[in-house]
Amino acid sequence: MSLKKKIIALIIIITAALFAGWWYFLSGANTVALQVKRQNAIKGITVTGNVESLEDVQITAEVTSRIEQMIVRTGDSVEKGQILAYLDREDLAGEVDAARARIQVLQEQLQRVRVQYQDAESDEERYKDLYDQGAVSKRDLEERTLKKLELDESIDQLQSEITAARGEFKAVKGRFDDYIIKAPISGIITDSYVSTGDIVTPQQILYRLVDPETIYLEADVEENELDAVRVGQKTLVIFDAYPDEIFVEQIYLISQEVNPVTGTFEARIYKPDTQERSILVGMTFDATIIVKEYKNILIIPADFVEIDNSDSYIYKLSNNFAVKTPVKTEFFDNNYVKVLEGAKEGEIILKKADKGKLTDNAKVKIVEYRKQ
């Protein structure tokens, strides 16, 4: 064989070897790999909920009127009894003036009648003396006596009318408070629904006022978890507003009734004591109620375990091959199982990256490493 042919043959052999090597290393079932590790873990119940307050007040007006002045706005802190807004009191002011004027007129009438009564009383005494002297008739005396009695009745009537007028004046003046909107509790104005100049009615909400000191987290828990939830349990809370932060809190109250519509019961969680983040009524959150905590255990994702005739198996990586290995596990949660036998820390376990199942001693190609 010539040298040229020998060189060509050698090139063909080397190329075939490289192709075989390439095929060997790149062929095989696409798999996802996971390194088994010991770790601390928790078993928990996942819930959702909202931020609520024990003091959450919707403020309305007592009367129908126009808003004359808005004193506070959304976000303002207020004290109990503080004025929030004024309603237009022009019509009421007219009623007060009319009631006051009526009292004054009646009092002036009473003063005049009292003067007339004094004159009538003196006149009666004078006619009594004249009657005793025979200077006037009995009829003349009776007319003076009757006039005095009539004036006395007029005095009583006017005094009654004055008392009633004062009562009316007090009632009308008292209604001034209905035109002044005040805070029933201390707190924060979280919503303002009206503006200056709006006509409002007693059915219309003007403000929403919340006491931040009574804020709590209300979680809805499925009724089948009732026996697992206890007061004092640690709870990991993530607010939708702060998705990168976990707040560790506790359950402090569990409702004793189940909502028949939703099939859930209420669990109340303490509000996080944080100055850096605002926790506001209406915010939503996800939480995990910790049922049990584990130290240094082996847990693996449940989708790495295959069931065959009631027996559990995992596939371990060995020299680019998947080795089917019996494993003993117990349920941990909906996503993980606890390994009792069949796997050790540091071993690599596999699952098919696409549809289908692995087979024992199948050649594999790892396309993804999953973190636990």
Q: What angle do CA 70, 75, 79 make, to 5 degrees?
A: 75
Q: How confident is the model at residue 225 (pLDDT cuts 50, 70, 90)?
A: very high
What pLDDT does 13 receive? 55
- How far apart are alpha carbons 34 and 26 in whole angstroms? 20
Instruction: Give the tens place of pLDDT for each residue, 281-309.
Output: 999 999 999 998 899 999 999 999 998 88
Instruction: For strands 247-259 and 234-239, give the pairing.
Output: antiparallel
Instruction: Give the tens place of pLDDT for each residue, 91-134.
Output: 777 778 888 898 999 999 999 999 999 998 998 899 898 888 88
Q: What angle do CA 69, 73, 77 make, to 5 degrees?
A: 120
What pLDDT does 12 receive? 54
State the DSSP code for 28: S
Q: How confident is the model at residue 53 (pLDDT cuts 50, 70, 90)?
A: very high
Q: What angle do CA 300, 305, 308 make, to 5 degrees?
A: 160
What pLDDT does 26 receive? 47
What pLDDT does 94 receive? 78
Question: What is the average pLDDT across 31-52?
Answer: 92
- How far apart are alpha carbons 167 and 311 in whole angstroms? 90
Q: What angle do CA 291, 292, 296 make, to 5 degrees?
A: 155
- How far apart are alpha carbons 322 and 329 in whole angstroms? 20
Instruction: Give the tens place of pLDDT for each residue, 244-266.
Output: 999 999 999 999 899 999 999 99
Question: What is the average pLDDT across 210-231?
Answer: 93
Question: What is the average pLDDT across 224-252?
Answer: 95
Phi, psi of 331, rounded to the nearest 5 degrees: -65, 135
- How far apart are alpha carbons 350 and 31 in whole angstroms? 6
Q: How confident is the model at residue 20 (pLDDT cuts 50, 70, 90)?
A: very low
Amino acid found at 197 = G
Instruction: Give the tens place of pLDDT for each residue, 129-182.
Output: 888 888 888 898 888 899 989 999 999 999 999 999 898 888 777 777 888 999
- How far apart are alpha carbons 130 and 142 in whole angstroms? 13
Average pLDDT, the chain: 88
What pLDDT does 25 receive? 45
